[in-house]
Amino acid sequence: MPRSLLSMYQRKTDRFDEMIAANGEVRPSWQSFFDHLNAATPEQMRHRLSYVRQRILENGVTYNVYADPEGTDRPWELDPLPLILSAGEWHEISSAITQRARLLNAVLGDLYGAQTLIKDGTLPPALVYGHNGFLWPCQGITPPGDSWLHLYAADLARSPDGRWWVIADRTQAPSGAGYALENRIIVSRVFPEQFRDLGVQHLADFFRALQDNLAHLAPHENEPPLIVLLTPGPYNETYFEHAYLARYLGYPLVEGQDLTVRGDCVYLRTLTGLRRVHAILRRLDDDYCDPLELRGDSALGVPGLLQAVRAGKVLVANALGSGLLESAALPGFLPGACEKLLGETLAMPSVGTWWCGEPAALEFAIENLDQLVIKGSFPSQRMDPIFGSELVGASREELIARLRARPQAYVAQELVDFSQAPAWSTKHDRRLLPRGVALRVYVAATPAGYVVMPGGLTRVTAATNARYISMQRGGSSKDTWVLSEQAVSTFSLLKKLVGKTDLIRSGSNLSSRVVENLYWFGRYAERCDDAARILRVGLSRLVDAGADAIPALISALDLCRSLKLLPEADSKAGVKAIEASSAEQRSELEALLLDAICDSEWEDSIAGNIRRLLWVGTQVRERFSLDNWHALNRLQLQLQRYSKVRPEISDALAFLDQMLLASSSLAGFAMDNMTRDDGWRFLIIGRRLERLIFLSDAISQFLRLDSTRAAGSIEWLLELTDSIITYRSRYMAQPELLPAIDLIVFDDANPHAVIFQLQNLIRYLTRLTRALDDTQDDVLRPALARLQSFDLGLLEGLDFSQCRNCDPCLELANALNGISLASATLSDRLAMRYFTHIGDVGRQTLTA
Amino acid sequence: MNLIAARYHVVHETTYSYESPVSLSRQHLHLTPRDCPWQSCLAHQISIDPEPTHSRSRPDCFGNPVRQFDIEAPHSRLTVCAESTIEVRPHLPMGLDGQAETGFQSDWLAASPSWEEVSSMLAYGAAPVRLEANRFLFESPYVRVKREFSAYARPSFTPLRPLLCAVQDLMRRIHDEFEFDPAATTVATPVLKILEDKHGVCQDFAHLMLACLRSLGLAARYVSGYLLTHPPPGQPRLVGADASHAWISVYCPSAEGGGWVDFDPTNNLLPDTQHITLAWGRDFGDVSPLRGVILGGDAHELDVAVTVTPLENGVWQSSG
């Protein structure tokens, strides 16, 4: 029997330990889980840890860190051991927090209405009228069902005596519920037997209740309600969660520019036109939601949204203006407000809070600075907490001067010693580490009142003594297991309140913006791929440039130039008359090709195209796997290094291979793993259309150029179109024009042939227009007919090495150009018809 | 005793010319004069070209009338013309014309409570809570509360000085020390920069004065309105005519008519029948005459013309 895990668990005895009671014994609610852990082998635990890591990577659970210069997503941190709470303990928390939700909802109703709490002196006016979060134009608006708060979260901590305290209220747009859900899905699979045997309460009903209530209260006027999740966009730190929740709840994920207000109603711009939106679950801060009436500098909002709310045509959750309650000063006044508004005693205390706007509180704060932490009264101050005990000398005097000069702006708070819970060490084989924990609990409004999610997001400090809990600063998280006394579903009654018209609409309400970004993602991905292919042809011939490879090198470079894939270099004139044996000219050519790859200044370089690819990809980040994403990021990082130090040719060739690999795995992912909705169709259409344009232009130019008559050219053309293997398997001889053209233009069984691309594209377009109930654009069909009418027999017996601008070559080249032109026209028409115009953001105007 | 009420006809025309068509325009107008105890709007209409797709009127959270509309059809030009007939009755103590420093006026100002007393009435914990004044006591988007402003105001706010005397002195100093210069600032110029650079326009002076008063714990609001374009013979033409004008109103519990007294730092006078009140709020942002969001348009040109014409004098029967 190995040593007990407890022998190495170095808990601090001046804190409450969630697992170990004061007498040193394991608490009853933890006993069976602990026994299991204690009996688990190191191999079992290693396996579990790697399962957690793997799931997080595969599911792409990330957390964006603003400060990260690379702007890359950081994987979410999750400790496999849950925080376990007994049913009795949970009951106490749950009833206290539902009371608090009722109270805060009533406070919002009062402050945006009669303001009796201010009139009777319960709340200082400064905390309302002096708070940026008080949205003046929202006064007098009553939300549907008097429900300001639909989703509320409270941060709780436990003091050494075992009591829970509220340390912060999240009323704006609480984050983390989606992470809690993801934690649950992972951890319940790490410990499936324990999860089942302990009767851990499930989370799904909570989200169902939230959804039902939104559908129930949304002013949907007998239409099925359309509910959307409004995000500030991919640069937000919790964007993963927005995308995750949107998917989980079945709501379209939208940004401000996807929505528009017409008259008093809100609409979503979709592929098929405007669709009325009845409710908005927002993750965008309320002051950014409407540049017309709220912050005029917001480019993220929806102009006119507030009027739609005022007219009662849309439900916004949480109500606009609810950020008002996110003030560090407010908790001190809640006991009074609770008596006044609910006639009840506040059940769970807030951490000791003194608002310095009261002269006595200010003096108290200054006298007891060592035991207190000073915070800004309002979130807009963006002030980091200052620990009084850490200040000496001048900095202490300076803080006191600041407090005295503008006391209203500061709050003094008691220091909270977090309770500790065991975390599994990732460094040792079998060890529990004591870590500070705080619990974020979530409350949802339902027609039957507020309900608490039985569980929550447990946040873990990075070290035992840490005083902050912040995912931004390297903290971790845990699943939270609430044990049940008996299985009781509290939601059985609720369902009856949801009528037929409340049913949640499924299916795709893809915004035009998402579709446009996917389309361009397809085009840029293919553009990178094409450029990599042709530059590889050039580079590889430069590497082993025996004298006989030189004519082929020259023709390949000619084609690159005519397709505008090489920078307009000074040496332009020089290349024609190249004597590539001259070392000087070789290095000139080499530089030219490397520029075409790495020169980020030059728009059409591969670096430029990768940058654009990443940009549009970021806008629809949630549709790709983390693997895809990392592969693209690696390419860009590599290019950034190359832009400083030019690579060797062999490295550049390896890079191009790597790029083609990433591109083909991206294409494979799109074919195998993406849902085939309209967005997917546009991605594939973008990709096919780009390839069609490239192929037709490349082959057409090939036929027109003089230099391609040189030996070795047809061979690289086959290589460029990825058809060399097929060719060799059919014809054992040196490549000739007629069979080559047949293979890469007319063979509809060759996936790299022009005609294959063209027919495929027409097929996708037909399916798309059928899905969208739209009329088909027939711009491609005449181009196809013209190509099909070309008589291949004309090329029979033609000596390509001798012909110059002969009729058959020109006729075929023109037909191919026709295809390229028709494709470009098609692209414009798709844009006109289906896309919003990204970047067309509303601008504020003011007159003096 | 009869006092002369003034009647005015005001035409306020605003034209935007856009470089490229605007596809969607939503606008909020603060162009309808509010009624006050000393002012009535006798006739009013707003014409908008092109014809709005939707339009409605409602009061804002300060009680000002707001007209809001949107235009969903593409347009390259937007004209909004507000016409109002307004009667303004004298409301300063009898016999004052607001400009001359008569003994009577000084007495009236001197009879106001000390500024410290007023400030303490507004502090948290004082009863009763003066809700309306409290709304104009704190920072707002264009008005900061900072030590720099209270320091500037301090020479006027000597210990126990009657509030209105102190405010009048602050107004005089701003008028004397700051240069009126339309080229020096924009709506985006921060009020601290106004204090540093010592020039600006009527809005800037109003914001500065508000910042000074609120930094001392006093309640003060921003007033937007008009001045007579061509003054009666023999009287000077006031600065700020031909455009919308702005001044401030300070909370003084002893004053009649709701406890607010107007001061115009641009002209160094107490507004009476020459000032037409349009709207008030915490600062310019609450009452901008046209506030809108447009899609498209690229660059635009803005043309604003205000004409205030006096009508034949009305007669007002004083109850005193």
Residue of A nearest to B151 (CA): A405
User: Which residues, 6+ apart, have CB-to-CB distance to A537 below 8 Å?
Assistant: A556, A716, A719, A720
Q: Which whole number is the average pLDDT over A634-642?
A: 84
Residue A571 dihedral angles phi and psi, to the nearest 5°:
-80, 10
What pLDDT was estimated at residue A464? 62
Contact B24/A at CB under 8 A: yes
Specify the higher pLDDT residue, A622 or B217: B217
Q: Answer yes or no: do B121 and B257 share one domain.
A: yes
What pLDDT was estimated at residue A581? 55
Specify the higher pLDDT residue, B176 or A768: B176
Residue of B nearest to A841 (CA): B295
How confident is residue A319, by pLDDT bands cut at 50, 70 and 90? Answer: very high
Q: Answer yes or no: do B57 and B137 share one domain.
A: no
**Residue B254 maps to a domain:** yes
CB contact under 8 A, A124 and B124: yes
Q: Answer yes or no: do B163 and B243 share one domain.
A: yes
- State pLDDT tens for residues B93-140: 754 444 444 455 678 899 999 999 999 999 998 989 999 999 999 999
Q: Answer yes or no: do B225 and B305 share one domain.
A: no
Residue A815, judged by CB atoms within 10 A of its CB (0-12, 13-18, 19+), counts as: buried
**A190-194, A576-580, A677-681, range with the lowest pLDDT:** A576-580
Instruction: Report CA-CA distances (Å) from A653 to A320, A532, A533, A597, A650.
Output: 55, 9, 10, 10, 5
Give the count of alpha carbons within 13 A of A801, CB side only. 8
What pLDDT was estimated at residue A2? 66
A279 pLDDT higher than 60: yes
Contact B169/A at CB under 8 A: no
Residue of B nearest to A135 (CA): B61
Enumerate the residues of chain A whose CB falls inside 8 A of the CB of residue B284: 848
CB contact under 8 A, B297 and A843: yes
Tokens read off for A766: 């037909």
What pLDDT was estimated at residue A799? 84
What pLDDT was estimated at residue B94? 53
Enumerate the residues of chain A whose CB falls inside 8 A of the CB of residue B26: 261, 292, 303-304
B307 pLDDT higher than 80: yes
Q: Answer yes or no: do B275 and B134 share one domain.
A: yes
Residue of B26, B137, B297 lying closest to A129 (CB–CB):
B137
How confident is residue A468, by pLDDT bands cut at 50, 70 and 90? Answer: low
Residue of B14, B138, B286 lying closest to A129 (CB–CB):
B138
How confident is residue A500, by pLDDT bands cut at 50, 70 and 90? Answer: very low
Enumerate the residues of chain A whose CB falls inside 8 A of the CB of residue B66: none
- State pLDDT tens for residues A45-72: 999 999 998 888 766 666 654 434 344 5
Instruction: Report CA-CA distances (Å) from A17 to A12, A419, A437, A479, A808.
Output: 8, 6, 10, 17, 86
| CATH number for the domain harbouring residue B43 | 2.60.40.2250
Q: How many CB pairs under 8 A join A and B?
A: 108
Tokens read off for B317: 């029967």
Q: Answer yes or no: do B239 and B296 share one domain.
A: no
- In contact, A250 and A506? CB cutoff 8 Å: yes
Q: Answer yes or no: do B80 and B158 share one domain.
A: no
Tokens read off for B104: 């009577």
Instruction: Report CA-CA distances (Å) from A63 to A74, A350, A636, A650.
Output: 5, 29, 21, 37
What pLDDT was estimated at residue A465? 62
Question: B7 lies in which domain range?
Answer: 2-88+288-317
Tokens read off for A326: 């996110």
Instruction: Report CA-CA distances (Å) from B141 to A310, B148, B190.
Output: 23, 17, 10
How confident is residue B2, by pLDDT bands cut at 50, 70 and 90? Answer: very low
Enumerate the residues of chain B whose CB falls inside 8 A of the CB of residue A293: 28
Complex ipTM: 0.92
**Phi-psi category of residue B198: left, alpha or beta, with phi > 0 → left and psi -120 to 50 → alpha:** left
DSSP run (H or E) holding A457: strand A457-460
Enumerate the residues of chain B whose CB falls inside 8 A of the CB of residue A845: 16, 290-294, 300, 302
What pLDDT was estimated at residue B222? 98
SS (H, E, C) A73-89: EEECCCCCCCEEECHHH
Contact B289/A at CB under 8 A: yes
Mutate to test the interface with B, among A134, A354, A845 (most CBs of B within 10 A): A845
Q: Which whole number is the average pLDDT over A473-496?
A: 65
CB contact under 8 A, A847 and B289: yes
Q: Answer yes or no: do B273 and B294 share one domain.
A: no
Q: What angle do CA A320, A322, A324 make, to 5 degrees?
A: 120
How confident is residue A105, by pLDDT bands cut at 50, 70 and 90? Answer: very high
| CATH number for the domain harbouring residue B231 | 3.10.620.30
- State pLDDT tens for residues A140-171: 999 999 999 999 999 999 999 999 999 999 99
- State pLDDT tens for residues A115-135: 999 999 999 999 999 999 999
What pLDDT was estimated at residue A670? 81
Residue of B131, B187, B295 lying closest to A846 (CB–CB):
B187
Q: Answer yes or no: do B180 and B233 share one domain.
A: yes
Residue of A nearest to B27 (CA): A292
Q: According to DSSP H, which parts of B50-102 are helical?
A: none
Per-chain mean pLDDT for chain A: 86
How confident is residue A494, by pLDDT bands cut at 50, 70 and 90? Answer: very low
State the Cα–Cα distance between residues A795 and A802, nearest whole angstrom. 13
Q: Answer yes or no: do B220 and B201 share one domain.
A: yes
Task: State the nearest Cα–Cα gap between A269 and chain B, in angstroms.
Answer: 14
Residue of B nearest to A357 (CA): B124
A749 pLDDT higher than 80: yes
**Residue B188 maps to a domain:** yes
pTM: 0.83
Instruction: Report CA-CA distances (Å) from B257 to B94, B120, B220.
Output: 14, 21, 15
User: Which residues, 6+ apart, have CB-to-CB distance to A542 below 8 Å?
Assistant: A553, A586, A589, A590, A593, A649
What pLDDT was estimated at residue A64? 59
How many domains, chain B?
Answer: 2
User: Could you count the other beta carbons within 10 Å of the beta carbon of residue A2?
Assistant: 11
What pLDDT was estimated at residue B186? 85
- State pLDDT tens for residues A22-43: 999 999 999 999 999 999 998 9
Q: Answer yes or no: do B246 and B170 share one domain.
A: yes
Contact B120/A at CB under 8 A: no
In percent, how much of chain A has pLDDT > 70?
Answer: 91
Q: Answer yes or no: do B258 and B298 share one domain.
A: no
State the Cα–Cα distance between residues B23 and B296, nearest whole angstrom. 6
Residue A814, judged by CB atoms within 10 A of its CB (0-12, 13-18, 19+), counts as: middle
Task: State the nearest Cα–Cα gap between B167 and chain A, in angstroms.
Answer: 22
Task: Return the sign of the alpha-carbon dihedral for residues B183, B188, B189, B191.
Answer: positive
CB contact under 8 A, A291 and B304: no
Q: According to DSSP H, which parts of A705-837 are helical?
A: 713-720, 724-730, 737-741, 754-771, 780-788, 807-834
User: Could you count the other beta carbons within 10 Å of the beta carbon of residue B131?
Assistant: 12
Residue of A119, A307, A847 lying closest to B68 (CB–CB):
A307
**Residue B123 maps to a domain:** yes
State the Cα–Cα distance between residues A665 and A679, nearest whole angstrom. 19
Q: How far is CA A296 from the centre of its chain?
A: 26
- State pLDDT tens for residues A169-214: 999 999 999 889 989 989 999 999 999 999 999 998 899 999 999 9
Task: State the nearest Cα–Cα gap between A114 and chain B, in angstroms.
Answer: 11
Enumerate the residues of chain B whose CB falls inside 8 A of the CB of residue A126: 124, 137-138
State the Cα–Cα distance between residues B310 and B228, nearest whole angstrom. 7
CB contact under 8 A, A129 and B135: yes
Residue of A nearest to B144 (CA): A130
In percent, how much of chain A has pLDDT > 90?
Answer: 52
CB contact under 8 A, B145 and A406: yes
**Residue B157 maps to a domain:** yes
CB contact under 8 A, A844 and B70: no
